[in-house]
Amino acid sequence: MVALIEGTKAPDFELQSLEGSQYSLKKALSKSDYVVLAFFKVSCPVCQLTLPYIERLHKAHPETPVWGISQDDPQATKEFAQQYGLTFPLLLDESLSSTVAYDLTNVPTIFLVGRDGQIQQTIVGFSKQDLENLNSRIAETGTHKAGQLFLKSDDVPDFRPG
């Protein structure tokens, strides 16, 4: 599975959110230790599994920008957000320019980008262990403890490819 790997410089981008605001990776990194980028497509079953856990990550670490990057149109993205209870910013990549820049062939793909602009972690598909590692890594530099992403009542696989 191809995607930019750890240690690679993250391509900068500016994308518009569902609400019409502009989001710049470079600008966000000037204010935060990390930015989490979660690329997804609304029709992808593994994205439907993964994004609610990205929402938990967002709630556990409010000081860390978490952005969903949708490959779909605004209406489909809005419906997806409502269906899965997503409150973090959803950015629109309808032209797929950011998807191409990040060398994606599968979704979901999640990147943890550090303040220096380097990709610190890449997760392709759903990986319970990788998401827990992401949660812990953000907590190391943040003001909040690593919240519990997975509950005992969650019936999820350890891994599912994207």
CA dist 61 → 26, 34, 56, 90 (Å): 20, 11, 9, 17
Q: What is the pLDDT of residues 67-81, one digit of tens each?
A: 999 999 999 999 999
pLDDT of residue 119: 98
Tell me what the mean pLDDT of segment 4-25 comes to. Answer: 97
pLDDT of residue 1: 59
CA separation for the pair 100, 104 (Å, rounded): 6
Q: What is the pLDDT of residues 85-114, one digit of tens each?
A: 999 999 999 999 999 999 999 999 999 999
CA separation for the pair 66, 64 (Å, rounded): 6
Radius of gyration, alpha carbons of the chain: 14
Q: Given a cut of 90, is residue 2 above it in pLDDT?
A: no
pLDDT, mean over the chain: 95
- Token duo for residue 89: 């910013």
CA separation for the pair 94, 77 (Å, rounded): 10
Question: pLDDT grade, residue 146 (50/70/90)?
Answer: confident
Does the predicted TM-score (pTM) go above 0.85?
A: yes
What domains, with CATH codes, occur in the chain?
A: 23-140 (3.40.30.10)
CA separation for the pair 46, 28 (Å, rounded): 27
Q: Identify which has the larger pLDDT, 133 or 143.
A: 133
